[in-house]
Structure 1
Amino acid sequence: MRIALVSEHASPLATLGGADAGGQNVHVAALARELAGHGHDVTVFTRRDSTTLPDEVAVEESGVRYLVRHVSAGPPDEVPKDDLWPHMSAFAAELALSLQDGPYDIVHSHFWMSGWATLRAVRGTRSLLGLPVVHTFHALGVVKRRHQGDADTSPPGRLEVERDIGLGVDRVIATATDEVRELEAQGIGADRCTVVPCGVDVRHFRPDVAPAAEPPRTATHRVLVLGRMVERKGIADAVTALQWLPDTELVIAGGPRADVLHLDPEASRLRGVAAEAGVAERVRFLGSVNHEDVPGVIRAADVVCSVPWYEPFGIVPVEAMACGRPVVGTAVGGLLDTVVPGVTGELVPPRDPRVLSGALRDLLADPGLRAAYGADGVRRARERFSWPQVAERTLQVYDEVIGLATPGRGREQGAVR
């Protein structure tokens, strides 16, 4: 099967840690690698954001190869993703020309602007009519608007465009059941959606990794918060909860490098929250952590705390589960699918530090329960969220969509491999 993945701002080649470089970049790169590992011809189309980038890059990893093609649209420089919308018509035009060089069997777009550009490219070109399109939103504008209000920097019209995408593509691949409910509320039927979660590399995130030695413990118990340092991640709630958890330290991993962390506004705000709660001496800031070191940081904690106000999917709880650590998370978005209360962790309401502290206290006081949750988490991560399984479920969607578009085609007939 010849597969085109379209990811306008999230390149699989990007260095992680920037404002717009994170989970989607990892998702697209891992999906491309796994699909190629299944024997398929995979090309990722992403926007050129540097004059030094070649038109095409061959990515080779462990004997698997896929291509990244850079589409010229807008200035060849880093542009915040919310400022890319005016350049999407140019992106669509260049994408249409590239897709005609195919032929491709299917196009899978990622994020709303990629979806718009892909539909414009495919539906607006006679030679591409009939090419199946599936789409993954990764985040919905309606949810962002609900929680951020006037602070939402999305371009005007995003909500209407997303609805048109949901109705225009052949299938939406949602990453969580909560996303399907949100789409249904916009008039996009559940029959147009298939849930395929984000994946985790269970070869990297595993329970036999040695716990990180740094930083050394300063308290009996350690709670870890891991991820981007932005307000909606709810890190301040975890800091506040610490005042009701004696002999417990909170380690915060993420954000800028440790040597420039003092310049970060959110880190400064969190230090103020810690001081006001009287727990400043028990809050440790690590700054950014190299990907290869993350499993060790997870293993060094007793409990991983993931308490965003909203979260389309949230990969940190799955990474923690794969490493054998229990999770206390908020009952929002994708965490409703990943964390099983009473089995792999606990779910609490968002923005409620008091209730959060109670859930953490119960787990920290019971090492046997933590071990049981950790063991069940490992099994769940491997059975439901490993990348080979996610890729296989994605291929099943591709086959179904291609079969509907062209009766008689499908992997079982060998026509699309």
Structure 2
Amino acid sequence: MAPGVLSIALVSEHASPLAALGGVDAGGQNVHVACLAGALADRGHRVTVYTRRDARDLPDRVALRDGVEVHHVPAGPPEPIPKDELLPHMTDFGRHMARSWRNRPPDLVHSHFWMSGLASLLATRETGLPLLHTYHALGTVKRRHQRLADPSPPRRVALETEVGRGCHRIIATCRDEVAELGRMGIPATKVGIVPCGVDTDLFTPRGPVAARGPLPHQILQLGRLVPRKGAAVSVAALARLPDTELVIIGGPPADELDQDPEVRRLRALAREAGVADRVRFTGGVPSADVPPLLRAADVVVCPADYEPFGIVPLEAMACGRPVVASAVGGQLDTVADPATGRLVPPRDPEALARAVAELLADPAGREAGGEAGRRRTLRRYGWPRVAAATEAAYCEVLDARPVVGVGAV
């Protein structure tokens, strides 16, 4: 191996970088793993992504791009399984990786999400490889907000803590996560922060702009259609925003929207609020269609109840749009209030409407906020910078490991 070139195993048990986005279990983590793998390969490293085989016809290995290969791990039946039901298959996942690494070990393992961490902990304990871990979401936060509606396995928090204590380094994505890990008993000295990234070449202020409706103003919400993302808050806020259209992007394809339970719930709320004629659902859209839609909006809203990190504010800011987001999780780091937008309390339609109305009434302020957001993403969140910071964390762990001499047992 050439000096400085690493062989890196990224483990992402349910979130394949090859998956189509927009499904219940396909979102930001898929994008993160795919983009991180590519950016590490751009730095000259060799990357293999280990993800669960969820279809019989998938090949064992797929080249994602130069320097990046996806390895489909047989663990459980080769069919889609909700991620909250994957825990019983993680032992098989880990044992498969351990067997694969006995003859051709990577230099290090970087697991993503707590179940990947469990499988990787098993495999690295057998092989002696260094392990870094990124949670992407924490069970303590999910349980606090969803309570009895949380579908996670009951042992999730205990097992997450085991991963945190057993790995060599945790790569958190924001300050709020570091504080949460501290409450779990994981010391801050074991944790470093590397944020998620955004493709600043795809998400840019320049380029096509999607067609708008006839109303003077348009606000936009983008993301999975699940209640915690707060689309109901946006609908309620719209009743306080005259002459404004709300575009909601995400969920199933457009021809399946009528059967979607969350769409039906939101449409009923819109009718009750008297704004049904000003709410437009696009359904899920291809990634290439997202930047033109963002550019068409006056303001992008991100009113989630909680958000472990939140990619959408970065995508909006990279496109030069101001953001109004709930003051939770990673959004506390990404959205600079008042420079790039506004932070408001979660579940507060009045506060959301007030912040949006302030921006809608100030075209010059919106333009300045969009420009500041673009500069912020270029300075902090481009994938080359994120990959360099991740590589630095890898080197810290590798440099701290004892050197084993030739012939040592």
- After TM superposition, the score normalised by the length of structure 1 is 0.94
CA distance in 2, matches of 1:367, 1:407: 60
Partner of 2:93: 91
List aligned pairs for 1:70-85, cutoff 5 A: 70-85=72-87
Partner of 2:399: 403
Partner of 1:411: none
The answer to whether the aligner puts 1:178 opposite 2:183 as a matched pair is: no
3-state SS of 2:111 partner: strand
3-state SS of 1:329 partner: strand
Partner of 2:30: 25
Equivalent residues of 2:204, 2:318 under 8 A apart: yes
Equivalent residues of 2:45, 2:67 under 8 A apart: no
Partner of 2:165: 167
Partner of 1:374: 370
The answer to whether the aligner puts 1:199 opposite 2:197 as a matched pair is: yes
The answer to whether the aligner puts 1:344 opposite 2:340 as a matched pair is: yes
Equivalent residue in structure 2 for 1:299, among 295, 299, 302: 295
Report how far residue 57 of structure 1 moved: 1.1
Q: What are the superposed Cα offsets for residues 58-83 of structure 1, whole Å, 9 maximum, x if unpaired?
A: 122xxx33111111110000000000
Report how far residue 406 of structure 1 moved: 3.6
CA distance in 1, matches of 2:214, 2:249: 16
List aligned pairs for 1:350-365, cutoff 5 A: 350-365=346-361
3-state SS of 2:365 partner: helix
CA distance in 1, matches of 2:64, 2:277: 45
Report how far residue 407 of structure 1 moved: 5.7
CA distance in 1, matches of 2:142, 2:52: 24
Q: What are the superposed Cα offsets for residues 256-290 of structure 1, whole Å, 9 maximum, x if unpaired?
A: 11111010000000001111111111111111111
Name the aligned partner's letter for residue 47 of structure 1: R
CA distance in 1, matches of 2:374, 2:86: 39
The answer to whether the aligner puts 1:113 opposite 2:115 as a matched pair is: yes
Runs of 4+ in 1 over 4 A off after TM superposition: none
Gaps of 5+ in 1: 409-417
Name the aligned partner's letter for residue 78 of structure 1: P
The answer to whether the aligner puts 1:41 opposite 2:46 as a matched pair is: yes
Report how far residue 102 of structure 1 moved: 2.1
List aligned pairs for 1:243-392, cutoff 5 A: 243-392=239-388
CA distance in 1, matches of 2:78, 2:208: 42
CA distance in 1, matches of 2:252, 2:20: 13
Report how far residue 54 of structure 1 moved: 1.1
- After TM superposition, the score normalised by the length of structure 2 is 0.96
3-state SS of 1:209 partner: coil
Report how far residue 95 of structure 1 moved: 1.1
CA RMSD of aligned residues (A): 1.0
Q: What are the superposed Cα offsets for residues 339-381 of structure 1, whole Å, 9 maximum, x if unpaired?
A: 0001000000000001111001100000010001000000001
Report how far residue 16 of structure 1 moved: 1.4
3-state SS of 2:202 partner: coil
Partner of 2:14: 9
List aligned pairs for 1:117-196, cutoff 5 A: 117-123=119-125, 125=126, 128-129=127-128, 131-196=129-194
Number of corresponding residues: 399
Report how far residue 311 of structure 1 moved: 0.4
CA distance in 2, matches of 1:71, 1:352: 43
Name the aligned partner's letter for residue 14 of structure 1: A
3-state SS of 1:244 partner: coil
Report how far residue 218 of structure 1 moved: 2.4
Q: What are the superposed Cα offsets for residues 36-64 of structure 1, whole Å, 9 maximum, x if unpaired?
A: 1111111111111111111111122xxx3
CA distance in 1, matches of 2:14, 2:402: 31
CA distance in 1, matches of 2:105, 2:166: 21
Report how far residue 210 of structure 1 moved: 2.1
The answer to whether the aligner puts 1:50 opposite 2:55 as a matched pair is: yes
